[in-house]
């Protein structure tokens, strides 16, 4: 593994998966091998006798290395609620995730790990996504949904990442709402507030065209 990043968001449903898959396409376009992981996922559906998550399947399909689904998403929960509630009978153990990560990290030049929800969204009764990023020892990429309220969310999340002494390598803006007013001004405001690079602004789409989305990244200033 030459590069690895933990993808977090300012909230749930902010476009983390679209950003992660678009990044995978970007790195593939640069000739790099890439793997995407989503260790914890809620709201899964039954398929062929097991629970699977649509986002995790996207990451699996877009990787250059074919991994078993359990390696991509070891904790798949049926209920569409926080993992610490959905996984009450099968609580997330960070050691399990770390062991899987260490076993596969040599198989690709780039590994992207998508978190579940926001930075402090709980994974079990005592640990959250920030703890997972710490034990994986990965720099963070922060995804911000461009909408009303996101300036506050972006600043709070970035301050939380810094307070946990985790490196933030950059941030990504995702236009998730076609009706958001003044999106360029919102992005510009956040850009002035943060001292890490803006890596890309992903335009609004009803359905994702990841080839197009990948063209919106500029990673020359990526911190790693």
Q: How far apart are CA 222 and CA 92, in angstroms?
A: 31
DSSP 76: E
Sign (positive or negative) of CA dihedral 76, 78, 81, 84: negative
Count of C-beta atoms within a 10 Å radius of residue 85? 12
Angle between helices 129-136 and 94-104 (to 10 degrees): 40
Q: How far apart are CA 199 and CA 221, in angstroms?
A: 8
End-to-end CA distance of the chain: 13
Degrees to nearest 5, angle at CA 29 with 23 and 31: 115
Contact 127, 20 (CB under 8 A): no
Q: Would residue 38 show up in a list of annotated catalytic residues for this protein?
A: yes
The single residue of 16, 28, 32, 38 carrying the catalytic annotation is 38
Catalytic residues: 38
């Amino acid at each position: 593994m030459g590069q690895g990043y933990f993808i977090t968001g300012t909230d749930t449903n902010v476009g983390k998966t679209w950003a992660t898959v678009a990044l995978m396409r970007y790195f593939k376009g640069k000739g790099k091998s890439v793997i995407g992981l989503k260790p914890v996922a809620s709201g899964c559906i039954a398929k062929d006798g097991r629970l699977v998550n649509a986002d995790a399947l996207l990451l699996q399909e877009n990787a250059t290395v074919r991994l078993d689904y359990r390696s991509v998403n070891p904790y798949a929960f049926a209920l569409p609620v926080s993992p610490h509630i959905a996984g009450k009978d099968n609580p997330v153990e960070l050691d399990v995730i770390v062991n899987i990560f260490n076993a596969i990290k040599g198989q690709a030049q780039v590994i992207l790990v998508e978190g579940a929800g926001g930075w402090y969204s709980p994974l079990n009764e005592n640990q959250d996504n920030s703890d997972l990023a710490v034990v994986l020892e990965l720099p963070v990429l922060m995804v911000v949904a461009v909408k009303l309220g996101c300036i506050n969310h972006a600043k709070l999340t970035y301050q939380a990442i810094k307070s946990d002494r985790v490196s933030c390598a950059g941030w990504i803006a995702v236009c998730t709402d076609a009706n958001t007013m003044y999106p360029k001004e919102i992005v510009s405001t956040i850009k002035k507030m943060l001292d890490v690079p803006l890596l890309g602004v992903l335009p609004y789409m009803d359905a994702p065209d990841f080839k197009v989305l990948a063209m919106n990244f500029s990673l020359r200033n990526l911190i790693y």
